[in-house]
Amino acid sequence: MVKVSDLQFGYNGRLIFDGLDMQIPRGKVTVIMGPSGCGKSTLLSFFGGRLKPSRGEVRFDGEVVPFGAGERLYAMRRNMGMLFQSSALLTDLSVFENVAFPLREQTDLPEPLIRILVLMKLQLVGLRGARDLMPSSLSGGMSRRVALARAIVLDPAMIMYDEPFVGLDPISMGVIVSLIRELNDAMGLTSVVVTHDVHEGCSIADYVYLLGNGKVMSHGTPEEMQNSEQPETRQFMRGLPDGPVGYHYPATDYGEDLRGNG
């Protein structure tokens, strides 16, 4: 579904991706994991054509993703849904209008049909009763579900989740985890989940990519990843404080520093 080849990208003089290759299989849930700040979320910006690679390319459904604006990119984006970490609901619109927003902007459907479509999607995420609320009165878990309903209202082929588990209580987390799996299977979606939550990530993944140092460090099914003996993978999957990724930020010699010679 998505094919990333030889992606290179730097920001502020720091190389974030250095020759990254990745393939997202169609119809599966692919989880992209990695330590904070390794560029997982940035990668999604490349899928959506919001950033321009300095080398390499990203293909969506066989076509190179263009950058910036333009009809071709917009046509491609209509086929992608994205769930932002902050949910990114439009704060001046009600829950109903937020979900209806893509339909109103992208289609000329009559009002009764829009109403039916919106209510169907809200029912899927269990928030049909909350349709008249404003985003400011929703809890974190609820607004993420509304954003999810909005992301799938145009029935995209692929949906991207940017850190969907961050900041949720256990119940909301469970709801989101099962929604991702169910939506993927029921709607025949391709799902890409970016997270650093090993447990939740592995519980829904069909395939896992682990990023580090601007590359894919390792990839495989969740079981393969959990049993991996590769040191970096082992450290991340088991959450060990020290290992190839050092506990200490690079620094001068400790003793020298204390003596004031650092």
Partner 1 sequence: MQWIQSLGRTAIDFTSRLGHSLLFLVQALSGAVRCLPRFGLVVQQLYAIGVLTMLIILVSGLFVGMVLGLQGYYQLVNFSAESSLGLVVALFLVRELGPVLSALLFAGRAGSALTAEIGLMKATEQLSAMEMMAVDPMQRVIGPRFVAGLIALPLLAAMMSAIGVIGGYLIGHGQFGVDPGVYWSSMKEGVDLVDDVLNGVIKSVVFGFIVTWVALFEGYDAVPTSEGVSRATTRTVVTSSLAVLGGDFILTALMFGGL
Helices (H), 107-164: 111-124, 140-152
33 scored as a contact of partner 1 (CB under 8 A): no
d(CA 8, CA 215): 9
101 scored as a contact of partner 1 (CB under 8 A): yes
140 scored as a contact of partner 1 (CB under 8 A): no
Q: 14 in helix, strand or coil?
A: strand
Residue count, binding to partner 1 (CB under 8 A): 23
Which residues on adjacent β-strands are paired with residue 191? 29, 159
Options 31-39, 78-86, 126-134, 207-215: segment touching partner 1 (CB under 8 A)? 78-86
The amino acid occupying position 204 is: I
Asked if residue 73 lies in contact with residue 16, where contact means CB atoms within 8 angstroms, the answer is: no
Q: 144 or 219, CB closer to partner 1?
A: 144
The single residue among 20, 22, 43, 82 that binds partner 1, judged by CB under 8 A, is 82
* Other beta carbons less than 10 A from residue 45's beta carbon: 16
Six token digits for residue 6: 């030889």
The single residue among 64, 75, 116, 120 that binds partner 1, judged by CB under 8 A, is 75
* Other beta carbons less than 10 A from residue 48's beta carbon: 16
Options 116-124, 147-155, 188-196, 248-256: segment touching partner 1 (CB under 8 A)? 147-155
120 scored as a contact of partner 1 (CB under 8 A): no
Question: What letter does residue 136 receive in the DSSP assignment?
Answer: G
Options 9-17, 98-106, 186-194, 227-235: segment touching partner 1 (CB under 8 A)? 98-106
Asked if residue 8 lies in contact with residue 213, where contact means CB atoms within 8 angstroms, the answer is: no
- Distance from chain centroid for Cα 81: 10
- Considering the complex, what minimum distance in angstroms separates the CB of residue 152 from partner 1? 12
Six token digits for residue 224: 């393969």
Asked if residue 142 lies in contact with residue 123, where contact means CB atoms within 8 angstroms, the answer is: no
Six token digits for residue 181: 């799996």
Helices (H) and strands (E) in the chain, counts: 10, 10
89 scored as a contact of partner 1 (CB under 8 A): yes
The single residue among 19, 27, 35, 48 that binds partner 1, judged by CB under 8 A, is 48
105 scored as a contact of partner 1 (CB under 8 A): yes
- Considering the complex, what minimum distance in angstroms separates the CB of residue 205 from partner 1? 23
The single residue among 63, 74, 169, 262 that binds partner 1, judged by CB under 8 A, is 74
- Considering the complex, what minimum distance in angstroms separates the CB of residue 102 from partner 1? 5
Residue whose tokens read 């300095």: 54
Q: 110 or 239, CB closer to partner 1?
A: 110
136 scored as a contact of partner 1 (CB under 8 A): no
Footprint on this chain of partner 1 (rule: CB under 8 A): 48, 50, 69, 74-75, 77-78, 80, 82, 84-86, 88-91, 101-102, 105-106, 147, 150, 154
